[in-house]
Structure 1
Amino acid sequence: MVRVGDVAPDFTLRGTDGQLLSQYSLSDYADEGYVILSFYMNDFSPVCSDQVCDLDDIDLFQFEENVSMFGISPDYVYSHREYSRQKGLTFPLLSDTKFEVSKDYGVYDAEQESGVRRALFLVDSDRRVQYRWVAEDNWERWDHGTTEALKDRLDQLRA
């Protein structure tokens, strides 16, 4: 399980920005600044849509300099592409179909229907985890306070 202060495991996953399919590596983006990882159960799930869309809609991170954001779920890139198009998302969605990254980050849960717990991580340019949140219950309603806590931590790091 990855905790605050740990070095975030590097990964390369196939993903989409809603149009193009590409490979995305954590290390490539962490070198440029902060990275937000949003693990979620699956595309088109109501609770996950709240989480993913909240991160996109509230503009806390879209215009932040040197901040990259990725959604990660076990869905395939073609589902991600359609989901991203329908929701108008502005950040890439990555496919962890074999749960390798979910296991590395400690959010894999075989008892969950999707195999993944909803989670957020903030990773700095040294690939150190600076913020971690993991849902106790995947079906619990999304709390905007989680996003605000993530933003507060980012602001503290930049102060």
Structure 2
Amino acid sequence: MTVEIGQKVPDIELLGDHDERVKLSDFKGKYVVLYFYPKDMTPGCTTEACDFRDSHESFKELDAVIIGVSPDDQGRHEKFKEKHDLPFLLLVDDEHKLSEAFDVWKLKKNFGKEYMGIERSTFLIDKEGQLVKEWRKVKVKDHVADALQAVKEASAE
């Protein structure tokens, strides 16, 4: 079943930084900006990650954490974080459990080839663990500003 706005998000455990096991419930009491992206080190994903990096302090001031999710392994995540000085958590979703729960694991087509992969998407989770906003088929340009504005609006309520 796919999580929908107004519902509690699934509490699936994934591998995070330094072999740490992480669940979304670990962040109860904070807003969570959960963004799914296709692959570390690719141009669009790097731009998106760096945009989140550059706005990290603004999110933090609003009591929000940023979490990136892709099917890449932990070693690749660590290289990506180090290369681009990313101050937020990246989770390994190599079995696509969280991606499928958020319905972002999709059949994609590129240059006539079909394959399964992540559809770039972002979700805002409130302090109680409920999904409050979603952005699907994200275009990278200006997306982080939209997400930050949504956190500002949620925190003002």
Mark yes or no: TM-score above 0.5: yes
Q: Secondary structure at the match of 2:94?
A: coil
Please, what TM-score do these two structures have when normalized by structure 1?
0.85
- Kept in 1, the 8 Å contact 2:14–2:23? The answer is yes
Please, what TM-score do these two structures have when normalized by structure 2?
0.86
Q: Secondary structure at the match of 1:109?
A: strand
- Note the residue ranges of structure 2 that are not aligned, 5 or more in a row: 110-114
Q: Secondary structure at the match of 1:101?
A: helix
Which stretch shifts more, 77-86 or 146-155?
146-155
Which digits, 9 at most, give the CA deviation of each residue in 1:23-59, with x for residues without a partner? 1110011x13111111000100111111111111134
Q: For residue 130 of structure 2, what is the aligned residue in structure 1?
A: 128
Aligned counterpart for 1:119 among listed residues 100, 109, 121: 121
- Note the residue ranges of structure 1 that are not aligned, 5 or more in a row: none
Shift of 1:149: 2.0
Q: How many residues align?
A: 150
Q: For residue 58 of structure 1, what is the aligned residue in structure 2?
A: 55
Shift of 1:78: 0.6
Aligned counterpart for 1:26 among listed residues 19, 24, 27: 24
Q: Secondary structure at the match of 1:80?
A: helix
Higher helix share: 2
% identical aligned pairs: 27
Q: For residue 49 of structure 1, what is the aligned residue in structure 2?
A: 46
Q: Secondary structure at the match of 1:103?
A: helix
Shift of 1:65: 4.5
Runs of 4 or more off by more than 4 Å in structure 1?
none
Q: For residue 80 of structure 2, what is the aligned residue in structure 1?
A: 83
